[in-house]
Structure 1
């Protein structure tokens, strides 16, 4: 018998190691059904006598287990209810066990609907189906397209960028992968092609906050036009979109997130001199994608519009 606990709420795991119940200072609350500061005096000796070991899992692995259970049974369990499946997957991966039968006991479906958004966002990371990278690319027209070409036919799940320097650009990019080993191969391939690339898949700050905060009021943007685009979502669609966009105008802001829908949605700003406005708007009409010019959008003006140099 194997027990499973969240890595940030492992009171039983620590108690077994210590030989007596210990108190956690601040147990994690994501799997709130098992978030106890100290295990009970009755349960501890029972677990001590019957459980072989405790496997700990992180929140991403729990989210991946919730998705697995939904895919298999079309039922939704709460984070604590998915612990057994998350632990089973982690145990098999870490030990390499094969040719055996395992049983995971599910218990608990007290799921808050608002929490599903977080679960959906993190499930692909938990299953090692998505990897997040910080990549440095040259700051010049066409560098986005060149970078996407370097990734080949891989599905880009997320792409965040804001112009901040005329020499180099740091982009936040998500890529569909098959495993952690596959993610390592993606990074190695980028390094071989001369890119600086850092895997952020285990970086909690990046996953919780930075991915939503890339941008701000750039100071080095000359003059930009802001547009929203929609294009059919399929493998290679983002690269095709960038090919169609061409390299006439420099991209100063770019945000894309694959939500699994039929259409991909991009927010992009391009540096366009005033004398080229007419040509730019004609280009948009001939582009073949649905678009909306957002130059005067209040959210853009407040949070993203370039600041004037002092």
Structure 2
């Protein structure tokens, strides 16, 4: 249990000031008092009562309306007349636009030019003046701050602002009013505004209730800040859960989180996808990935600590989902629940071998089976196989053991990101023994013509020996490509750095070596 020790520092709000501002926040002029619903099936499965705070039911389908309205409602008459500006590609943009409409204010929303049209149209429908600028949030934010100075507009920050934090804190107040016996609350963390607001309220009124932040493992800026003792920039953030894809936690939110949180949990895309499936099956809710992060963290924490018989609550923070992303989420949810194993297996290319292979699996259901004759000869086949699991990781280990005892070479690829994103879609044989190549994966902002622009930037200096492009409906595309080059080619690595895209060298990745290498 964390005891509240939040004190004023250089004029910052102390715990008492935050409590007063949360209690006075005028959120219900714009927001709904959302239900706290029990997930019956998951509660039975985990042996604890699991409750979900349904912030997806707000008018803008996320909690962001609370903080945006609280901050904008406090503006003076002159500030209201001039209007506000913000930068956002997601839920904050809609919260500011909706708040401005209610308050009769002008709102300029700077959005990256690669923002999907569905989100742009949603902000415009709420009355926001959309300015598409730059190809990233950082560039859009810089333009928003420039407009604030040039036109006298008030910048509305997405999370690192006391009044925004106080507005989000009303969620915590509702939760302890709806269930005064909650033991732990799990909250998604992006920049930290939501978890700070809930923590500062809950720790003032019910300090025995644990408040636990949950981050995606590819954007864990709070965990990095806690390790460093100060906010730091992440070198790279993953965009699967774009609502929490923040490079640097806020200064004020870090002050609150470091003083008030009981723990911080990180979760994977597979675990988030499994949580999305849980929410659909139990409540028929369809959250965006960042909206399901709290539940993913709840499940991981409960499993890690063997929790039973407790009352566990989480915040479903948003449901502004790109529909096409559901394909990816559905595919990954089985892996997140440890209900599927993905294996690379070498088998003899002889009649009846698949039947023997299936017999070793002991009647388990095969979910996927791909192979091609090994280019190295020797009458072997490289198999990419998915197997349905009933008993999670323990059963997966047993299957690998059974196959190895039967004489098969096995590589467990269940936790291999490259295998799950690219390789399973492009099984087609390995490279010839004479080919020298290096393999790279990229992420880049998705928009019409984005792939062509990527290829133009990539250039023609090196021969491309492999190329796979995949988009899962998110705001970014994924590419796996190989170049004819050796490890001594320093110029290639320098070229990768100059491209300006997030990338990783995958030459030694187990899935790539097994299925695609020489």
TM-score by shorter chain over 0.5: yes
The match for 2:394 is 181
Distance in structure 2 (CA, Å) of the matches to 1:52 and 1:17: 15
Q: Tell me by how many angstroms 1:218 deviates.
A: 10
SS at match of 2:236: coil
Distance in structure 1 (CA, Å) of the matches to 2:307 and 2:254: 28
Distance in structure 1 (CA, Å) of the matches to 2:431 and 2:289: 40
SS at match of 1:42: helix
1:145 is the counterpart of 2:325? no
The match for 2:382 is 170
The match for 2:411 is 198
The match for 1:10 is 220
**Stretches (4+) displaced over 4 A:** 216-219
Which structure 2 segments of 5+ residues have no match? 1-210, 433-518
Distance in structure 2 (CA, Å) of the matches to 1:96 and 1:135: 34
* TM-score normalized with structure 2 length: 0.41
- Measured against aligned partners, the alpha-carbon deviations of 1:196-219 in whole angstroms (never above 9, x if no partner) come to 111100111111111111125999
Residue 162 of structure 1 contacts residue 218 of structure 1 at CA under 8 Å; is this kept in 2? Answer: no
The match for 2:247 is 37
SS at match of 1:44: helix
Q: Tell me by how many angstroms 1:125 deviates.
A: 0.4
Q: Tell me by how many angstroms 1:96 deviates.
A: 2.2
Residue 373 of structure 2 contacts residue 429 of structure 2 at CA under 8 Å; is this kept in 1? Answer: no
What pairs up with 1:1-310 in 2 under 5 angstroms? Answer: 1-164=211-374, 165-178=377-390, 179-215=392-428
SS at match of 1:115: helix
Distance in structure 1 (CA, Å) of the matches to 2:303 and 2:395: 15
* TM-score normalized with structure 1 length: 0.68
- Measured against aligned partners, the alpha-carbon deviations of 1:232-271 in whole angstroms (never above 9, x if no partner) come to xxxxxxxxxxxxxxxxxxxxxxxxxxxxxxxxxxxxxxxx
Residue 373 of structure 2 contacts residue 379 of structure 2 at CA under 8 Å; is this kept in 1? Answer: no
Which structure 1 segments of 5+ residues have no match? 220-310
Distance in structure 1 (CA, Å) of the matches to 2:393 and 2:337: 9
Residue 67 of structure 1 contacts residue 123 of structure 1 at CA under 8 Å; is this kept in 2? Answer: yes
The match for 2:148 is none
Distance in structure 1 (CA, Å) of the matches to 2:219 and 2:322: 20
Residues 218, 30 of structure 1: CA spacing in aligned structure 2 closer, same or farther, 3 A cutoff? closer
Query: Size of the alignment, in residue pairs?
Result: 219
Q: Tell me by how many angstroms 1:94 deviates.
A: 1.9
Q: Tell me by how many angstroms 1:99 deviates.
A: 2.9
Residue 291 of structure 2 contacts residue 318 of structure 2 at CA under 8 Å; is this kept in 1? Answer: yes
Residue 11 of structure 1 contacts residue 23 of structure 1 at CA under 8 Å; is this kept in 2? Answer: yes
Distance in structure 2 (CA, Å) of the matches to 1:195 and 1:96: 36
**Larger CA Rg, structure 1 vs 2:** 2
Distance in structure 2 (CA, Å) of the matches to 1:186 and 1:138: 19
Residue 156 of structure 1 contacts residue 173 of structure 1 at CA under 8 Å; is this kept in 2? Answer: yes
Distance in structure 2 (CA, Å) of the matches to 1:52 and 1:182: 33
Distance in structure 2 (CA, Å) of the matches to 1:133 and 1:105: 35
Distance in structure 1 (CA, Å) of the matches to 2:383 and 2:430: 16
Q: Tell me by how many angstroms 1:14 deviates.
A: 1.1
SS at match of 2:223: helix
Distance in structure 2 (CA, Å) of the matches to 1:105 and 1:218: 48
Distance in structure 1 (CA, Å) of the matches to 2:372 and 2:380: 11
Distance in structure 1 (CA, Å) of the matches to 2:412 and 2:235: 30
